[in-house]
Structure 1
Amino acid sequence: MVQQERARLTREKILLGAADVIRRVGYAKASLGQISETSGVTRGALYFHFGSKLDIAAALVDEQHRITREASEMILATDASALELMMHLCLDLAQRLVADPIVRAGVRLTSDTSTFDSPIGDPFRDWIETFGALATRAQDNGETTATVPPDMAARFIIPAFTGVQLVSDTLTGREDLPGRVREMWEILVRALVAAENLATALQMLDDVFTAPGSDEEAMR
C-alpha cells in the first residue's frame, strides 16, 4: 500500500513537472531530461511510469479531461437555470486555466497540432453537445429567444471561449481571462435574451462572475 502511494505521488510529480515544462517551452521543445529535472525524479523513475514524451502528453490530456469532467458534473447537478449553468461552466474552466497547471497543459496539448498525429476533437464535440442541450433548455424555458437556434449558439460559444482564452494567454498569460469571459457572456446575453428579460439576465451574469471566490470579484 505504501509503495502504491509512493508510485502515485511520483507519477503526479512527473505530470506536474511536464505541465510546467510544456507551459514554458511548448510540447515540441520539451525534453524528457527537462521533465525529469523539473519533476525532481530520476530518468529511471520517469521511464517506469511513462515510455515516451507522447505517453506523458496523453496522460496530461486524460487527467485534464477527468478534472474538467468531474467539475462539470458537479455544476450540472445544481438547480441553476440553463443559462446560468452555461455561464458557470465557462467561468469554472477559465479559473482552472488560470490556476491548475494540469488543465492548462491538457488544453494546450489538445489544440497543439505538434503533439498528436491528428487533432483531438472529442473534448470540443462533448462541450458543444453539452451546451447545445443547455441552450435548448434555456430556449424551452423562455430564458432565451428563438432568434438563434440552440445548436448554432453552442457551435459559436465553444469556439468563442477557445479564442478568448488563447488571446488572453498570448497577451496576459491568462491573468485577465475570467474578466474577458465575462465580457463574452455579456455580448451573448444581449444577443440571446429578450429585451424584457435582459435586466434579469444581466444581473444573473453579475452574480455568477462576482460570487465569493471568483477571480472577477478579486479584480474589482
Structure 2
Amino acid sequence: MQQRAENTRQAVLLGAAVSFEKFGYGTASLSTILAHAGVTKGAMYFHYASKEELAHAVIDAQHQMAMDGALAIDSQVSVALDALIYVSQEMARQLVEEPIARGGMRLTLEIGSIQGPVQRPYVDWIESITALAKRAGTEGDLAEGVDAEALARFVVGAFTGVQTLSQVLHGRDDLYDRLSEMWTLLLPAVVAPHALERAVGLARCAPRTWSVARSTALEASA
C-alpha cells in the first residue's frame, strides 16, 4: 500500500510537471494534470491540496534534481574547474531530457511573477558554483584576480539566459551548442593559460551521463 501511494504521488508530480511545462501555471488545469498523471482526482488530493501546492512541489523536485546532479559530479570529479563545466552540462541535460526539470524551470519564472521571486534555487546554485570556483582558484586553474563569487553569479545568469533563448527560439534543441558557445567565449577570460585547452575541450563535448538516482528528486519533494 505504501509503495502504491508513493507511485501515485510520483505520477501526479510528473503529470503536473508536464502540464505546467506545456500550459504554464495560469492555464494548466487540474483536469490536464490528471490526464497527464493518469490518476483520479481523489488520488491527487490525497497528496496535494491545491494546484499551488503541487506547483511548488514541482519546483522543489526540480531544484533537488539539480542539486543532486551537482553533488554527484562534485563527488566524482577531482578537478574543480572540470566539475564546474560538467555541472552546467548536467543542468542542460536535465532541461533537455527531464520533464520535472522543464516544468520546474517554467514554474520558477511564472510563479515568481505572481507571488514574488523564487530565490532559493538560484541562491543554492550560485553557492554551489562559488564553492567550485574557489576550489578551482586554489588549484591554480583560474586566472589571477578572478573573483569566485562574481564568476558564479555570471555563470548562473548566463546559463539562465542561454537556456531561455534556446527554449524561445528552438525549443532547447540547440541548448548543448549554445552552452558550448557560452563557455568558449567565457573561459579565455577566467581560466589560467595552462588549463585553457583542457577546459575548452570539455566545454565542447556533449554532456555525460552521471550516476545520479533519477528518483531522488521525486522522493525529496514528499
Indicate the TM-score class for this superposition, using the shorter chain for normalisation: 0.7 to 0.9
1:160-186: per-residue Cα shift (whole Å, max 9, x none)?
001111111111111111111111111
User: Counterparts in 2 of 1:1-220, with a 5 A limit?
Assistant: 3-113=1-111, 117-206=115-204, 209-210=205-206
**Which one-letter code corresponds to 1:78 in the other structure?**
Q
Q: Give 1:103 shift.
A: 1.2
Greater displacement, 34-43 / 196-205: 196-205
Check 1:7–1:187 CA distance in 2 against 1; reply closer, same or farther (3 A cut): same
Greater displacement, 17-26 / 193-202: 193-202
Q: Give 1:212 shift.
A: 6.1
- Identity percentage of aligned residues: 39
Check 1:30–1:142 CA distance in 2 against 1; reply closer, same or farther (3 A cut): same
Partner in structure 1 of residue 215 of structure 2: none
Preserved CA contact (<8 Å) 2:25 2:111: no
CA distance in 1, matches of 2:73, 2:209: 15
1:133-177: per-residue Cα shift (whole Å, max 9, x none)?
211221222211124311111111101001111111111111111
Aligned length: 210
- Structure 1 length-normalised TM: 0.87
For CA contacts below 8 A with separation 6 or more, give which structure has more relative contact order.
2
Greater displacement, 194-203 / 126-135: 194-203
Q: 5+ residue gaps in structure 1?
A: 215-220
CA distance in 1, matches of 2:195, 2:64: 36
1:44-93: per-residue Cα shift (whole Å, max 9, x none)?
22212211001111111121222222221111112331111111000001
**Which one-letter code corresponds to 2:108 in the other structure?**
T
**Which one-letter code corresponds to 2:45 in the other structure?**
Y
CA distance in 2, matches of 1:115, 1:30: 16
Preserved CA contact (<8 Å) 1:28 1:114: no
Preserved CA contact (<8 Å) 1:145 1:194: yes
Preserved CA contact (<8 Å) 2:16 2:33: yes
Rg larger for: 1
